[in-house]
Amino acid sequence: MTVDRVLPSPEAAELVQAVRQIARRELEPRAANEEAAERFPRELFDMLGAAGVLGLPYPERFGGAGQPYEVYLQALEEIAAAWFSVGLGVSVHVMSLSPLLGSGTEEQQEALLPPLIAGDQLGAYALSEPQAGSDIAGMTTRAKVTDDGYALIGSKAWITHGSVADFYTTFARTGGDPHGGISCFLVPADSPGLSFGAPEHKMGLTASTTTSLYFDQVPVAEFRRIGAEGEGMKIALSALDSGRLGIASCATGLAQAALDCAVSYAKQRVQFARRIVDFQGMQFLLADMAAAVDSARATYLLAARKRDAGQAFTRDAAVAKLICTEAAMRVTTDAIQVLGGYGYTRDFPVERYFREAKAGQIFEGTNQIQRLVISRQLLREDR
């Protein structure tokens, strides 16, 4: 079904509608086969970049569309509803630019942002490590000062777009302070000494390449350090706030797709000489699924509107990521139940949706970490 959206302007409504049409025409028909083949569809990101989708929330002076975050997220939801792996990829790319826009110098922004916003280059966000996922302070990758800038030594894990991105927004330790000794760098993919592990064999999102990164004295020019030395922790957490909204939006799109499939099937499936949608028990189940999707959408939009208004939204982003990904897991589970045995087969997309939904509860900070962020904000407000 077409989602009944409230958008801030006619231009925004036209943009989201255009993205929806692209998603339904170019993404949805290919999703099942490409996921089965575990093939990363790089050409689709080139197409989305050329269509202006990758630059929706970024300033027009750098080639973006200058749209509010609430508009970008609703467009992203349409992409994820058509193909979750591509929605995730767009979210990660947009997040990987966030440090450059928020903390880069004007010279860095003018030199580096335009090709990234245009989609000529694809970004990745390299924060997690094998022993330091949610524990950013436990990071061990180091950036040693050299005559020409820095040399990066260490490894990163679980990197979306690993081995297929053109640059990596990378966080490395430049000092001994567990919290204040981290800095941010934009590392080109063709840098000497940078290598990649084999793609992870995941239960879902198989068209989204995920690998480890290895830094063996990788040279990085000082010009590619974003912000001052030691500001990396603050930069990373700020980018994650926005990135979590991207995941919330994608999870909502996935849940909407599962709901749509369940409703369509229930209208056609006949049991005991009646359509199963005519049984009250089925109607109540579908109603609960719809309420979960609507609630998820309202939650991420509240957070996005606070971000657009310049208000603090760390807690709201954590709530949105938690609520939306939990809703996606619940709705995709229920969608399988609606389809019965068919839902457990690959003849229908809901089994894929179910596998993909699980990832949402894990990346960009597990949902346990979201609960920790929310509780800390509550305690801080009580002081």
Distance, in Å, from the CA atom of 142 to the CA atom of 154, rounded to the nearest integer, reads 6
For the chain, report the end-to-end CA distance as a whole number of angstroms.
46
Q: Where are the alpha helices (DSSP H) in 55-178?
A: 69-82, 84-103, 106-117
Taking residue 287's Cβ as centre, other Cβ atoms within 10 Å add up to 10
Distance, in Å, from the CA atom of 209 to the CA atom of 206, rounded to the nearest integer, reads 7
Distance, in Å, from the CA atom of 225 to the CA atom of 152, rounded to the nearest integer, reads 12
H or E, element range at 168: strand 167-173
**133, two tokens:** 């996922």
Candidates 129, 200, 364, 381; catalytic one = 364
Q: Which of 128, 84, 86, 171 is nearest to 363 (CA)?
A: 128
Distance, in Å, from the CA atom of 339 to the CA atom of 44, rounded to the nearest integer, reads 31
- HSE value, Cβ hemisphere, 13 Å, CA-based, for 175: 14
Residue pointed to by tokens 């992870």: 200
Can 364 be counted among the known catalytic residues? Answer: yes
**183 three-state secondary structure:** strand
Catalytic residues: 364
